[in-house]
């Protein structure tokens, strides 16, 4: 509030109330401005976050497009060597398995030969044959069991290769969650938010983590791989290097093409096995894509959530700083107000002392004036009694005079009545004579009117006979409308202007009516009638809005100025 409009300590209640209202209005305006600025800051932050998300998405899309173009360029080069590479890998794996199996069989045969050669106990041919048959049977069972173990190991390896991607995604997800928690802890350590805000974002992080973990668990390839590892790896490589690398709902023609390529690589597999391998490869690719999408969504959501968290922490910290500043300013204002009140209390005490002195002086002056007034009233009472006595004497003399005047008026009234009765008696004969004359005049006037009506009737009948004779002679019908119609000269629409009107010169100026309709003239006449035309106010009203030359301006300080007439 400005110093000029600040009320003093001795101002009345209305002035202080108006000052408080003005302060509240300004405070409300400042609050509205602050809230609008906060809304604008939040909107700008959300817009920047959206732009950052859009930029990241565009960069990721461009990277994926570039990767797809590179893969499509290398597709033609790799397609020629794909069959040979797969055959070489299959041959090497089969040779390795056969070598391991041969080494195991040779080792068992060596042990068997040593056992047969090292025996020195005498036995019959029948016991030797039964013992050899038993050992051969055990050897066959061991070979069969080892073969079963090798097949189970191959299936385990194939299933582990199918679930390796999901385990990799789980590890990557654990790393991402650990990094997100560390980033959130760093933000909390940096900005020191409130416990409620911390709990809100912590619960949001945990819910996002649980949701993505559920998506990763649901995207894992649930069924164990029944195909061999090399077959499944070959099918996945064919699907990945083909144009259908990003498609999961393939058409029948595309599935048939994939089955033909797998059959070309593995000619020993049946059509059902090939179709089953293609289905498992597609399921594995679908699980990998779902896990990758879940991780990508988690990274984006965590980045957005951490950005929102940082913005919220910044806004909360700014609000807390603003609140602390307001509290400090309020405390400073209260201190200044207390000191101001102390100074005002001192001034008020001094002012009240001055008022008390003035009041005592005023009371003394009023007591002296009251004594003087009492003496004056006593003197006036005496004068009033003297005047009352004189007034009573005057009223007595005036009553006697009124009584004499009333008697004189009654005597004059009786004389006038007597004179009036005598005059009425003399005028009776005149009234009778005038009545008879008036009756004679009315009778003669009536006879004259009857004669005039008879003459008009005769005239009308004569005209009718004349018109009838004219109609018989000329054969023209009577047309009163044509007779009463205006002539061509009198029916003209334009008024006739005489020579004097045409040659009369035009007068430049205003008529009396125009001049008297001007409000300035009427105002001047009103001021003139009221006698205010010579006053400064009258001159100002008359000359308001019109240019007055300096030589015609009035000057109150001019010693040579004469009186206005």
367 contact partners, CB below 8 Å, separation of at least 6: none
Structure tokens that stand for 506 in this block: 């035009």
Closest CA to 467 of 476, 458, 456, 455: 476
Chain position carrying tokens 């004594």: 371
Distances (CA, A) of 312 to 17, 225, 317: 40, 48, 8
Looking at residue 565, its pLDDT comes to 40
| 3 state SS for 73-136 | HHHHHHHHHHHHHHHHHHHHHHHHHHHHHHHHHHHHHHHHHHHHHHCCCCCCHHHHHHHHHHHH
Closest Cα partner for 317 from 30, 47, 41, 27? 41
pTM assigned to the model: 0.30
**Angle formed by the axes of helices 13-118 and 271-474, to 10°?**
150
Say how far apart CA 63 and CA 58 lie, in whole Å: 9
Tokens describing residue 386: 């003297």
User: Which range has the worst mean pLDDT, 108-122, 190-204, 224-238, 526-540?
Assistant: 108-122
Going by C-alpha positions, the residue among 11, 12, 7, 10 that lies closest to residue 347 is: 10
pLDDT in tens, 183-203: 778 878 787 777 777 777 777
Mean pLDDT in residue range 306-319: 78
223: left (phi > 0), else alpha (psi -120 to 50), else beta? beta
Predicted confidence at residue 222, as pLDDT, reads 44
pLDDT at 270 over 60: yes
Quote the pLDDT of residue 79. 60
Looking at beta carbons, which pairs linking 61-70 to residues 24 or more positions away fall under 8 Å?
68/245, 68/246
Residue written as token pair 């300004």: 26
pLDDT winner (highest mean) among 20-34, 212-226, 446-460: 446-460
| Buried/exposed 464-475: b ≥16 CB within 10 Å, e otherwise | eeeeeeeeeeee
The 3-state DSSP class for residue 194 equals coil
Q: Tell me: the pLDDT tens digits for 405-448?
A: 999 999 999 999 999 888 888 888 888 888 889 999 999 999 99
User: For the ranges 19-33, 289-303, 450-464, 527-541, which has the lowest average pLDDT?
Assistant: 289-303
Distance CA 547, CA 529 (A): 25
Nearest alpha-carbon partner for 215 in 298, 299, 147, 123:
298
**Element (DSSP H or E) covering residue 428:** helix 271-474
Average pLDDT, the chain: 74
pLDDT at position 41, please? 86
On the question of pLDDT at 104 being above 80, the answer is: no
Q: What is the pLDDT of residue 252?
A: 56
Within 10 A of 193 (CB to CB), how many other CB atoms are there? 20
Higher pLDDT, 479 or 7: 479
Eight-state DSSP code of residue 496: P
**Residue 103 contacts by C-beta under 8 Å, 6 or more apart in sequence?**
none
Alpha carbons 230 and 283: distance in angstroms, whole number: 16
């Amino acid at each position: 509030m400005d110093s000029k409009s600040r009320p003093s300590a001795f101002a009345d209640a209305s002035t202080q109330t108006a000052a408080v209202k003005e302060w509240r209005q300004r405070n409300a305006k400042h609050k509205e401005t602050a809230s609008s600025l906060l809304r604008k800051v939040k909107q700008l932050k959300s817009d920047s976050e959206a732009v950052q998300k859009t930029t990241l998405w565009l960069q990721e899309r461009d990277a994926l497009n570039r990767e797809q173009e590179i893969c499509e360029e290398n597709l033609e080069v790799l397609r020629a060597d794909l069959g040979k590479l797969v055959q070489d890998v299959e041959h090497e794996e089969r040779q390795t398995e056969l070598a391991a199996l041969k080494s195991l069989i040779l080792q068992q045969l060596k042990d068997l030969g040593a056992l047969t050669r090292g025996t020195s106990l005498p036995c019959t041919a029948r016991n030797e044959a039964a013992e050899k048959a038993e050992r051969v049977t055990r050897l066959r069972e061991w070979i069969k069991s080892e073969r079963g173990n090798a097949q189970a190991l191959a299936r385990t390896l194939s299933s582990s290769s199918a679930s390796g991607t999901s385990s990799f995604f789980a590890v990557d997800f654990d790393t991402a969650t650990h990094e997100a928690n560390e980033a959130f802890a760093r933000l909390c350590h940096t900005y020191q938010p409130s416990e409620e805000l911390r709990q809100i974002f912590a619960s949001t992080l945990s819910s996002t983590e649980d949701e993505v973990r559920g998506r990763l668990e649901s995207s894992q390839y649930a069924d164990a791989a029944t195909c061999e590892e090399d077959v499944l790896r070959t099918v996945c490589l064919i699907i990945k290097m083909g144009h259908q690398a990003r498609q999961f709902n393939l058409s029948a023609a595309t599935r048939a093409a994939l089955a033909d390529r797998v059959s070309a690589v593995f000619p020993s597999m049946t059509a059902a096995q090939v179709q089953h391998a293609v289905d498992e490869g597609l399921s594995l690719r679908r699980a990998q894509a779902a896990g990758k999408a879940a991780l990508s969504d988690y990274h984006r959501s965590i980045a957005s959530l951490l950005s929102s968290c940082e913005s919220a922490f910044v806004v909360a910290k700014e609000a807390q700083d603003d609140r602390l500043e307001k509290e400090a300013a309020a405390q400073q204002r209260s201190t200044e107000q207390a000191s101001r009140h102390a100074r005002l209390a001192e001034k008020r005490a001094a002012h009240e002392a001055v008022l008390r002195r003035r009041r005592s002086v005023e009371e003394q002056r009023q007591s002296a004036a009251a004594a003087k007034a009492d003496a004056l009233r006593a003197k006036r009472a005496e004068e009033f009694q003297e005047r009352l006595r004189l007034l009573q004497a005057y009223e007595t003399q005036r009553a006697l005079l009124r009584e004499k005047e009333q008697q004189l008026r009654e005597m004059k009234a009786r004389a006038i009545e007597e004179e009036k009765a005598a005059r009425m008696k003399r005028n009776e004969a005149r009234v009778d004579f005038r009545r008879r004359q008036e009756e004679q005049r009315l009778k003669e006037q009536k006879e004259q009117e009857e004669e005039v009506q008879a003459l008009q009737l005769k005239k009308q009948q004569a005209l009718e006979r004349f018109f009838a004779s004219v109609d018989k002679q000329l054969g023209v019908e009577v047309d009163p409308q044509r007779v009463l119609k205006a002539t061509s000269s009198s029916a003209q629409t334009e008024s006739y202007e005489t020579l004097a009107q045409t040659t009369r010169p035009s007068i430049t100026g205003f008529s009396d009516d125009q001049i008297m309709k001007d409000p300035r003239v009427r105002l001047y006449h009103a001021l003139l009638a009221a006698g205010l035309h010579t006053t400064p106010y009258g001159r100002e009203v008359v000359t308001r809005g019109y240019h007055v030359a300096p030589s015609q301006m009035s000057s109150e300080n001019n010693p040579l100025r004469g009186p206005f007439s």
